[in-house]
Amino acid sequence: MASAGGAMQLKLNLNDTVGQERYKSLTKQFYRNADIALLVFSIDDGPSFHKIEFWRKEVLSHNIEKDVAMILIGNKDDLHEERINPKSTSKQYTEKHGMKFIEMSANRRDDYLKVDSVI
């Protein structure tokens, strides 16, 4: 981070690790010194939410010396009729772990502003 004329500038690197454990060895380099981790699951895919705890622990285990802010993102909220993961469950999870939570759709360009607003 740097300050330019009173405004804060932030360097943001986004790495999509696909969430699959077979990429575990590759992902360590991406989140080793992270300040923020975005943990994303699909609201229409039950197993994707259940994998969040694994990835939360992975991020924490490689950032022992500092706190990493984590944001839980429920993706595909445009498919609310196909929802499997209740919003209330996600909110309970984030409250338990001191995380922020948003829902969005990667298909809606304006929804990326939701992510920006919680960072």
How many angstroms separate the Cα of 70 from the Cα of each of 5, 80, 107?
Answer: 28, 24, 22
- CA dist., res. 9 & res. 65, Å (int): 24
Report field, pTM of the whole predicted structure over 0.85? no
Count the Cβ atoms, other than its own, within 10 Å of residue 79: 15
pLDDT digits (tens, 9 = 90+) for 31-85: 677 788 899 999 999 999 999 998 899 888 887 667 888 999 999 999 989 999 9
pLDDT band at 1 (very low <50, low <70, confident <90, very high): very low
Q: What is the amino acid identity at position 16?
A: D
The CATH architecture to which 36-118 belongs is 3-Layer(aba) Sandwich (3.40)
Residue 31 in contact with residue 63, Cβ under 8 Å?
Answer: yes
Q: What is the DSSP string of 9-65?
A: E--------TT-GGGHHHHHHHHTT-SEEEEEEETT-HHHHHTHHHHHHHHHHT-TT
Residue 41 in contact with residue 51, Cβ under 8 Å?
Answer: yes
pLDDT for residue 62: 80
Q: Which residue has the tokens 């990835």?
A: 55
